[in-house]
Amino acid sequence: MNGGGPTIIGPLPAKTSLQVNGRQLDFVAEPATTLLEALREQCDVTGPKEVCDRAACGGCTVLLDERPVASCMMLALDATDRKITTVEGIGSVDAPDPLQMAMAEFDAMQCGFCTPGVVTAAKALLIQNPRPNLDEIRAALSGNLCRCGTYPNIFNAVLVASGQEPVEEPTDRGRSASGERA
């Protein structure tokens, strides 16, 4: 404390609490800890991935009060009074979300490193907009890079998870999702 003014936390490690996937997680960390570091290293919630560490890929996407954010570019202390959802909070191996089933069905991943972020961002879209069209899906996922280029399959998985027909989406190379020339 500092006179009667606002509480000053740190710079030494201090007790921190996060609400992650409906559970309160308490740990001790320096204020310089990002939300991503806190989740992965203090809370053992390793779905969000560190890739660029600069809000430039979407691999670390989590939901903050139902909106996707880059957890690498936010301090854990910034998120203490917010509801955090990671891919672990969306479904489980035993009870996957329909979106996760559709991702598997459409083979919407190759290396899988972007997948937790993609599923989390797509889930946020479906909460807001249960039947998004292809443009809306593309826009909602425009903050998630997939270096394996699985985008057409991801888009189809989101369409099917929202009860719609998959499309034969031509890729940038002029091929459709099924590999035929468009």
Partner 1 sequence: MNPFAYTSPRNTTDASALAVPNGDFALPVLKSGGMDLLDRMKEGLERPDLVVDLTRIDDPTLDAIDAGRIGGRVTLAMVAESEELRKSAPILGAASGSAATPQVRNVATVAGNLLQETRCWYWRMSQFDCLRKTGDDCPAREGDHRFHVIFQDGPCLMVHPSNLAPALFVLDGEVEVVGGDRTRIPIRDLYADPAVDWRSASVLSPAEIITGIRFKSAPNSAFIALKQKQSFDWPMVSGYAVLDLDGDVIKSARTCAGAVAPRPHPLPQVDAALAGLSIHDEARIRAACEISVDGADPLPGTAYKMTLLPVAIRRAVAAAAHSAGTARGGDA
Ligand X SMILES: Cc1cc2nc3c(=O)[nH]c(=O)nc-3n(C[C@H](O)[C@H](O)[C@H](O)COP(=O)(O)OP(=O)(O)OC[C@H]3O[C@@H](n4cnc5c(N)ncnc54)[C@H](O)[C@@H]3O)c2cc1C
Among 28, 32, 111, 182, which residue sits at the site for partner 1 (rule: CB under 8 A)?
32
How far apart, in whole angstroms, are the C-alpha atoms of residue 150 and residue 146?
6
Among 32, 44, 147, 171, which residue sits at the site for ligand FES (rule: CB under 6 A)?
147
Q: Which CA distances in Å does 103 have to 69, 76, 146, 152? A: 21, 30, 14, 11
Instruction: Dihedral sign for Cα 62, 155, 181, 109, please.
Output: positive
Q: For residue 176, give both structure tokens.
A: 């459709």
Identify what 140 binds: ligand FES, partner 1, ligand X, none; CB under 5 to 8 Å per kind.
partner 1
How far apart, in whole angstroms, are the C-alpha atoms of residue 130 and residue 12?
45
Closest contact distance (angstroms) between CB of 70 and ligand X is 8
Residue 28 binds to ligand X (criterion: CB under 6 A): no
Considering only residues 47 to 66 of the shown chain, the ones binding ligand X according to CB under 6 A are: 55-56
Piece of the chain touching ligand FES by CB under 6 A; list 86-94, 133-141, 144-152, 173-181? 144-152
Q: Got the DSSP string for 147-159?
A: TT--HHHHHHHHH
Closest contact distance (angstroms) between CB of 148 and ligand FES is 3
Among 47, 58, 89, 152, which residue sits at the site for partner 1 (rule: CB under 8 A)?
58
- List the 83-85 sheet strands across, edge first: 23-29, 14-20, 83-85, 61-64, 67-70
Piece of the chain touching partner 1 by CB under 8 A; list 108-116, 139-147, 155-163, 174-182? 139-147
Among 28, 56, 127, 148, which residue sits at the site for partner 1 (rule: CB under 8 A)?
56
With beta carbons less than 8 A apart as the criterion, state whether 167 and 175 touch. Answer: no
What are the residues binding ligand X (CB under 6 A)?
55-56
